[in-house]
Chains A and B, each alone.
Chain A
Amino acid sequence: MSGAVAWIRRHPVVCFFVFFAIFPWLVPYRSLATQVLIYGLFALGFNLLYGYTGLLSFGAAAYWGLGAYGTGIALAKLKVTSLWLALGAGLGLALIGGALFGFFCLRRRGIYFAMLTLAFAQLLYFIGFHLADWTGGDDGLRGITVPPVVLGGWRISLDRSVVFYYFALMLVGLAVLVLKRILDSPFGAVLQAIRENSDRATACGYDIARIKHLSFVFSATFCGLAGALDALRLTVVPIESLHWSTSGQVVIMTLLGGAGTFFGPFVGAAAFLVLEDSISVVTESWPLVIGAIFVVFVLFLPKGIWGTLTGGFHGR
C-alpha cells in the first residue's frame, strides 16, 4: 500500500490521466464522469487557495460563474464561432475578476478574508441577476451552441458525450499539469510556507501580499476554466452559478476529498456527486445529509477521504 501511495505521489499527473482515461466506464453513466472532471477542476482551483495557501474563500462561485458567463455570453450573445476564443473569454473574465476581487479581499487576513470573498461573490450574483440583457437574469443564459473544436487541421464536433468527456479531460489534465508545475516551483513552496506561517514567510523576505494575490488569480483562473467547461456541458448558465451555495458546494467537495492533497479535490467531487445522485433518489432533504456528513468530516476527519487514506499531507 505505502509503495503504491509513494508511486502515486511521485507521478500524480500520469496517474490522473490513466485513471480518468478509463473513468467513464467505472461510473453508472457517462455524464457523471464529465461532471466529476469539471467539478474536480473547480475544487482543484479552490484547493490551491485553501489547501495550499491557507486562504479559505467562500466566494469561489464568483470565478466559476465568471468563467461560465464569459464563455456563455461569447457564444450565445456575441456569436463567437471559435471555441478557443469563447473559452478564452471565460478564462480572461475569471482572471480579471480574480485580480480585482483578490486585491480587495486580501486587504484582510484570516476569517475576514472568508467573509469578504463571500460578500464580493454575492455582489457579483446580484449584478448577474440585474444585467438580464447579457446574463438572462433569473432564467439563466440560454442559446449556447457549442462550436466544433478546431485543432490543427481537425474539426471535431463535441456533440457526442464521450467526445466531450475526452475534450474536457484534455483541458482538465492540462490544468492538473499546470498545478503540478506551480506546486513544484519555488513559488509553490512559498505558498505552502504562507499556509504554515505567514509571518515567518514575510520574515524570510517574501513579498507575501503579491504571492497571495498571484495564488488568488491562479485559483480564480482554474475555477473559471471549470465554469467555462460547465457552460459547454450544460449549454445553459443558470444564475445559481454565481450563488453562494455554489461556493459552499466546492468547499464541501474539497474538504470531503482532502484539502491540501493533490487528488483530494477530484475524490471529493466524485464522492459528493455520487452521494447526491444516490441520496436525492431516496429523499428530498439532500442538504441535510450532506450538511451532516460535512460536519462529521470537519470534526473527525479534517484530512478528508484522500488525506486519511494516504496517511495525510502534513496537517493543514
Chain B
Amino acid sequence: MADISLAALAAQVFTGLVLGGIFVLLAVGLSLIFGLMTVVNFSHGALYMLGAYFGYLLFKSSGSFTVALVVAPLMVGALGLLIERFLIRRLYGRSPDDPLLLTFGLSLIIVEVARMIWGKIGLTLDPPRAMAGAVNLGFTYFPIYRLFVIAVTIVVLIALWLFLERTNVGLVIRAGSRDPLMVRALGFDVGRIWFLVFGIGSGLAGLAGILAGPMRGAYAEMGVTIIIESFVVVVVGGMGSLVGAVVSGLLIGQIVSLTTFFAPKLAEIIVFIFMAVVLLLRPSGLFGEAGLAE
C-alpha cells in the first residue's frame, strides 16, 4: 500500500513539474516584458490560447508536430510584434495602468474571435504518435509526451538564458531593464529592443500553448484561468526577476499538483493562499528587489 501511494506521489511530482514548466514559460514571458517595459500583458493568456489553436492547425495540415512546435510560437510572436507596434507603442509615457487596460480589452477581442472561428466547443489534440503512450520510470509509468514537455521547457530556458547572458542583444536587453534612459543615451534604439522583447515574450506564451494543447486540449477560454495563476507566479517570484519566475513557477506547479493529490477541493485555492503568505513574509516576492518599477 505504502509503495503504491509512493509511486502515485512520485507521478504527481512529475505532473507538477510539467505544470510548473508551463507556468514558467508563461511567467518568464510576462516577467521579461514587465522587467523591460513595465507593461503587464493581460492578453498573455489569449496568446497562449492562440498558440494551442495555431499548433493544432499546423499539426493537422503539415502532419508534423515539430513544424507545429516551431511555427506556432513564431506566429504568436509575430502577432505580439504587431500588438506592440500598433497598439502598445502608443501608450509609452502614459500611466503603466494603460497598457494593462489596453491588453485587457485586447484579450476580450482575441478570445471572442477564437470563439467565432473555432467554435465554443474545445478541440482535442493528440500528442504526436512517436510520443503516445507511457514510459516506465522505474517507480511509475509516465506519459512520454509530458517528459517531452519538461525537456522542451528546459531547452528553451537554457537557450533564453544564453541569449540574454551571452549575446550583445541580450546584454542590451538586460541593460535596458536596469536603466532604459542610460541605454538610450549610449545610442541604442530602446524602442526596437522593446519591440523585440514583446515579440519574444508573446512567442513564449504561444510555445506554452502548443505544449499544453495535447494535455489540456484547445478552447477559447483556456488562457483565462492560467493567466491569473501566472500573475501569481510572477508576483511570488518577484516581478521582473527571471530566476524568480522559474523558481516560483516550479514551486507553484508542485504545490498545485500535490494539493490536487491530497486535497483536490483546495487545489484551485491553494495558489492564492500561498501568494498571501509570501506577500506577508516577503512583500517584494521571493527574488524581487523592493521598489522595482512601482
Q: Which residues of chain A have a CB within 8 Å of any CB of chain B?
A: 56, 58, 104, 107-112, 114-116, 118-120, 122-123, 126-127, 129-130, 244, 248, 251-252, 255, 285, 287-288, 290-292, 294-295, 298-299, 302, 316
A114-B40, A285-B116 known; A108+B283 contact, CB < 8 A: yes
Q: Are B105 and A294 in contact (CB under 8 A)?
A: yes
B67 at the A interface (CB under 8 A):
no
CB distance from A132 to the nearest CB of B (A): 11
Note all chain B residues with C-beta closer than 8 A to A123: 269, 272-273
- Interface digits, B251-277 against A, CB 8 Å rule (1 contact, 0 not)? 000000000000001001100110110
Q: Are A122 and B272 in contact (CB under 8 A)?
A: yes
* Chain B contact surface mostly: helix
Q: Are B112 and A118 in contact (CB under 8 A)?
A: no
Of the candidates B91, B109, B113, the one having the most CB atoms from chain A within 10 angstroms of its own CB is B109
Give CA–CA (A111, B288) in the complex, Å: 14
B95 at the A interface (CB under 8 A):
yes
From A56, A104, A251, A291, B279 is in contact (CB under 8 Å) with A104
From A109, A129, A292, A298, B101 is in contact (CB under 8 Å) with A298
Size class of the contact patch on chain B: 35 or more
Note all chain B residues with C-beta closer than 8 A to A285: 112, 115-116
Note all chain B residues with C-beta closer than 8 A to A127: 269
CB distance from B36 to the nearest CB of A (A): 14
Give CA–CA (A120, B228) in the complex, Å: 10
Q: Are B275 and A294 in contact (CB under 8 A)?
A: no
B108 at the A interface (CB under 8 A):
yes
Q: Which residue of B lies closest to A291 (CB)?
A: B108
CB distance from B232 to the nearest CB of A (A): 5
CB distance from B286 to the nearest CB of A (A): 14
Q: Which residue of A lies closest to B231 (CB)?
A: A115
Give CA–CA (A126, B294) in the complex, Å: 29
B90 at the A interface (CB under 8 A):
yes
What are 13 sample pairs from A and B whose C-beta atoms fall under 8 A apart? A110-B97, A110-B294, A111-B96, A123-B269, A126-B269, A126-B272, A248-B104, A251-B101, A252-B105, A285-B112, A285-B115, A288-B112, A295-B105
State the 4 A-B residue pairs at the shortest beta-carbon distance, nearest first. A291-B108, A123-B272, A288-B112, A294-B105
Note all chain A residues with C-beta closer than 8 A to B276: 104, 120
Q: Which residue of B lies closest to A110 (CB)?
A: B294
B111 at the A interface (CB under 8 A):
yes
B215 at the A interface (CB under 8 A):
no
A111-B34, A111-B97, A255-B101 known; A118+B269 contact, CB < 8 A: no
Give CA–CA (A298, B42) in the complex, Å: 14
Q: Are B40 and A108 in contact (CB under 8 A)?
A: no
Q: Are A110 and B96 in contact (CB under 8 A)?
A: yes
Q: Are B108 and A287 in contact (CB under 8 A)?
A: yes
From A118, A126, A290, B108 is in contact (CB under 8 Å) with A290
B49 at the A interface (CB under 8 A):
no
Q: Are B104 and A288 in contact (CB under 8 A)?
A: no
CB distance from B180 to the nearest CB of A (A): 16
Of the candidates A58, A115, A116, A244, the one having the most CB atoms from chain B within 10 angstroms of its own CB is A115
Q: Are B40 and A115 in contact (CB under 8 A)?
A: yes
Q: Are A298 and B105 in contact (CB under 8 A)?
A: yes
Given A104-B280, A115-B234, A123-B272, 12 other A-B contacts at CB below 8 A? A115-B232, A118-B228, A119-B231, A122-B228, A123-B269, A126-B269, A288-B112, A288-B116, A291-B109, A294-B105, A295-B87, A295-B102
CB distance from A105 to the nearest CB of B (A): 9
Q: Are B279 and A288 in contact (CB under 8 A)?
A: no
A255-B101, A298-B98 known; A120+B106 contact, CB < 8 A: no
Q: Are B40 and A294 in contact (CB under 8 A)?
A: no
CB distance from A120 to the nearest CB of B (A): 7
Q: Are B108 and A248 in contact (CB under 8 A)?
A: yes
Q: Which residue of B lies closest to A286 (CB)?
A: B112
CB distance from A289 to the nearest CB of B (A): 9
Note all chain A residues with C-beta closer than 8 A to B183: none
Q: Are B97 and A119 in contact (CB under 8 A)?
A: no
Note all chain B residues with C-beta closer than 8 A to A108: 235, 279, 283-284, 294
From B90, B111, B283, A287 is in contact (CB under 8 Å) with B111
Q: Are A288 and B113 in contact (CB under 8 A)?
A: yes
Q: Are B106 and A291 in contact (CB under 8 A)?
A: yes
Q: Are B235 and A109 in contact (CB under 8 A)?
A: no
Q: Which residue of A lies closest to B38 (CB)?
A: A111
B100 at the A interface (CB under 8 A):
yes
CB distance from A217 to the nearest CB of B (A): 18
Give CA–CA (A123, B105) in the complex, Å: 23
Give CA–CA (A36, B284) in the complex, Å: 40
B162 at the A interface (CB under 8 A):
no
CB distance from A65 to the nearest CB of B (A): 15
Q: Are A114 and B100 in contact (CB under 8 A)?
A: yes
B293 at the A interface (CB under 8 A):
yes
CB distance from B60 to the nearest CB of A (A): 25
Q: Are B97 and A114 in contact (CB under 8 A)?
A: yes
Give CA–CA (A111, B272) in the complex, Å: 17
A119-B275, A287-B111 known; A316+B95 contact, CB < 8 A: yes
B32 at the A interface (CB under 8 A):
no
Note all chain B residues with C-beta closer than 8 A to A294: 101, 104-105, 108
Q: Which residue of A lies closest to B34 (CB)?
A: A111
Q: Are B40 and A111 in contact (CB under 8 A)?
A: yes
Note all chain B residues with C-beta closer than 8 A to A109: 294
Give CA–CA (A180, B234) in the complex, Å: 38
